[in-house]
Amino acid sequence: MDLLHTLLRKKPAAPKAQTSLCDLKPGMLLIDRYRLTEMVGQGSMGSVYRAEDQLLGGVTVAVKFLSQTLLSEKMAQQFAQEARAGALLGHQSLHIVRVLDYGLHEEQMPFYVMECIEGINLEQLLQVKSLSLARFLKLMGQVCSGLHCAHQGINVDGNLYQVIHRDIKPSNIFVTHNESLGELAKLLDFGIADFLNQTLKDGPTQPFMGTLAYGSPEQISGQQPDSRSDIYSLGVTMFESLTGDLPIKAEVDTFDLWHRAHCQQQPRRFSQADPHLEIPAPLEEVIMACLAKQPEQRPQNVEEIREVLRTVSQSGIAKLSQPTDTIPELVKIAAQIEQQQQSPAHQTLVTFESAEDVAWHSTWPENIPQAKIAFPQTLKCAQQDAAALWVMLAPEEIQQRMLNTRHCHFLCTFAPHPMLLWITSIFSREQGPKWMPCYIDLKDQQGRYMTQLLSSAGYYHLLMFGLQSPSRPANVATVSIPEPQRKHLSDWLTMAHGKTSTGTPAQSKQFLREKYQSVKAKIQSRL
């Protein structure tokens, strides 16, 4: 079974947000890139579709549509910020499912695109039997690694942005197999519960967005949760993973009774849940501490839990039966990768899997001025280079335009010097267009290579950096190139090869600049 079929197998959750009336159907093409093939699940947060990425030759992805319709510009920006946080997190930790893209369908319905992974979720594993101690230590060590990465925060526009999950539970922990690393645990839905919480908030208390059986006392009471709320939910999940049962139970599955249970009921000990289960004392102590009613009585960060898991693993792992599909060093490898990602030498230490990975980890070149400019530069990937446009804008403009539609247009001249004008625009009805033109010299080797990449791939990456924040892109998007324009690029490249320059590149740039101004209104009308 794959990730798509397990995303929405949830225990009873909080009431639904208002659903959209948007009619989604297989065959629909999303932002000219993702063709929906089948709906594979529906739950309180929305629906999940299997889809094919048309730009990448039909690669299968998962598309999740959120049921909360975006009725205001503020809500749209909040969704974009949370989705961007999820995208950044997925490129920083092995143990967080990667968000590949996001946007709005018919200008109101938010969706995000995830990697499609073969495997099963932890809830389904526990329906068969509880985890062995060896497997528990490995999988929970990886879950802690992903959660620690989120709680440490990510850099967005120069600010540290801490991500609280709000819905840690077995069905949001996906277990897959990696040929190189063995068994992997990955966390789903980072940032989305927080987005839904903000859009539904209309009073002094926080609406509960999560799953009742796993919600912390403060979260279910309407208080503002922090990382220690995730730690409580993790404690419930760890207890259930070892015993197959919950440490706290409500007599009836209602909000009021779950609220009373989490706030007043003392959690069962392991010996009460399973008298035959032998748990190392340090492990039992840290799990029970996670279940404390008051946040200050719990471990104050995930690293404290991870350290106990490491200690127990190192002290007794040789006596434990090892699952055949795991490797002992996986948690250690994940920790090393996290350290490398914080190192300036990260670009040379890690081989990224995709152009998106390379894009998110790119740094503004030192030889390019930090100003509101745009320039073309290829992304060097392990398998194949990718075309990219690098731009620098004001951080607030990037934030406001993250859900804009993306377009491109090309103009060419062969005289006096073969030159291409590459016009990228992002557009919304409220804000109008943002133009980002740049030039490609068709007599220059790098320029010809870039044009070839654009023509053959049919898309390029748009890397948006904030002013004075050159260390990482504030956002990465993909721009599709329509088939007629791809054909033009290929033809122009062939024709330019046989042309002789009779003037300077500057003269051709001036000619294209004037032509661009004369056709800009026509281009805008098509947007």
Rounded CA gap, 99 and 177, in Å?
A: 19
Instruction: Identify the pLDDT of residue 83.
Output: 75
**Weakly modelled stretches of the chain, pLDDT under 70:** 1-22, 43-45, 67-78, 107, 156-158, 191-207, 209, 316-353
Reduced to 3 states, what is the DSSP secondary structure of residue 42? strand
Catalytic annotation present for 357: no
Q: Among positive and negative, which fits the CA dihedral 208, 212, 216, 220?
A: positive
Q: Is 499 annotated as a binding residue?
A: no
Q: Indicate the pairing of strand 459-466 with strand 388-393.
A: parallel
pLDDT at 338: 41
Residues 6+ apart with CB under 8 A from 407: 424, 425, 426, 427, 479, 526, 527
Q: Residue 503, SS3? A: coil
Residue with tokens 């598309």: 63
Q: Are 86 and 404 in contact (CB under 8 A)?
A: no
Per the DSSP assignment, residues forming a β-bridge with 462 are 389, 477
How many angstroms separate the CA atoms of 301 and 152, rounded?
9
Query: Taking CA 516 as the corner, what is the angle to CA 511 and CA 517, rounded to the nearest 5 degrees?
Result: 105
The residues near 53 (Cβ < 8 Å, ≥ 6 apart) are 33, 34, 59, 60, 61, 113
| DSSP of 405-432 | EEEEEEEEE-SSS-EEEEEEEEEETTTE
User: Nearest CA to 241 among 141, 100, 149, 339?
Assistant: 141
Q: What is the pLDDT of residue 245?
A: 95
- The rounded distance, in Å, linking the Cα atoms of 430 and 134 is 55
Instruction: Report strand pairing: 29-30 vs 46-53.
Output: unpaired
Tell me the C-alpha distance between 378 and 390, whole Å: 9
Sequential DSSP letters for 429-463: TTTEEEEEEEEEETTSHHHHHHHHHHHHHSEEEEE
Position of tokens 């406001």? Answer: 400
In three-state secondary structure terms, 526 is helix
Residue 153 vs residues 92, 191, 264, 344: alpha-carbon distances, Å: 11, 12, 32, 18
Q: What is the dihedral of CA 76, 81, 82, 87, to 10 degrees?
A: 120
Starting at the earlier edge strand, list the strands of the sheet with 432-441.
405-413, 419-428, 432-441
**Which tens digits make up the pLDDT trace of 470-483?**
888 988 999 989 99
Residue 343: its pLDDT value, please? Answer: 38
Catalytic residue among 167, 189, 194, 357: 167
pLDDT of residue 341: 39
Q: How far apart are CA 399 and CA 271, in angstroms?
A: 51
Q: What is the pLDDT of residue 148?
A: 94
Q: Tell me how long the chain is.
A: 527
What are the backbone dihedrals phi and psi of residue 364, each rounded to the nearest 5 degrees, phi first? -60, 130
In this prediction, residue 310 carries a pLDDT of 93
The pTM assigned to this predicted structure is 0.72
**CA–CA separation, 505 and 264 (whole Å):** 76
Question: What are the structural domains of the chain?
Answer: 3-341 (1.10.510.10), 368-526 (no CATH)
